[in-house]
Amino acid sequence: MTLRLISILIIALMSTNLSAHQFEGDWQFIKGEYKTASGEVLYADNSTLVAIKTIKGSKFAFNNMQQGEFLGYLSGTFTVEGDSYKEHIKKHVKQSGLGEHAGKVFTFKGWLEEKQEHGQKVIYWHHKGMVAGTEETEVWRKLNK
């Protein structure tokens, strides 16, 4: 290998490490609580709602289904600042067509919790933030590869 090729590989590896953050990976929705502007509180869990969020560097994609029916898909860019992160929605598709979140930015506080369950390390991602006037509090579980 030439010195130039080695330098390019080192720079590529360094820039890859710089984009990694604590929220990177594949996540499965576990449960959520949603407080609407009118004060109504709604709950969801993974017994009927299946949602997967994938985050790689500065990009994310999210899709969900309920009782076997497609509900929606979001994708865009993802930025992290300490324990806060922002989802910059580029594309939003719902069962009924295009979604209303495209072009919006949602900010959340997020934190990770590690536990030992059945002899395995499990990572939970807790987050809280506002989406279209509704306060979301959700828990996600990191999927192991």
Number of domains in the chain: 1
15 in a structural domain: no
pLDDT at 42: 95
Q: What is the C-alpha end-to-end distance of the chain, expressed in Å? A: 32
Which residue range forms the structural domain that includes residue 85? 22-142
17 in a structural domain: no
Of 69, 107, 71, 72, nearest in space to 88 by CA: 107
7 in a structural domain: no
102 in a structural domain: yes
Three-state DSSP at 46 gives coil
CB 92 within 8 A of CB 99: yes
- Range list of H helices, the chain: 3-19
The CATH number of the domain holding residue 131 is: 2.40.128.20
HSE toward the beta carbon, residue 122, CA cutoff 13 A: 13
User: How do the pLDDT tens digits run along the chain, 145 residues long?
Assistant: 454 544 454 544 444 444 578 999 999 999 999 999 999 999 999 998 999 999 999 999 999 999 889 999 999 999 999 889 999 999 999 887 778 899 999 999 999 999 999 999 999 999 999 998 999 999 999 998 6
pTM for this prediction: 0.82
pLDDT at 30: 97
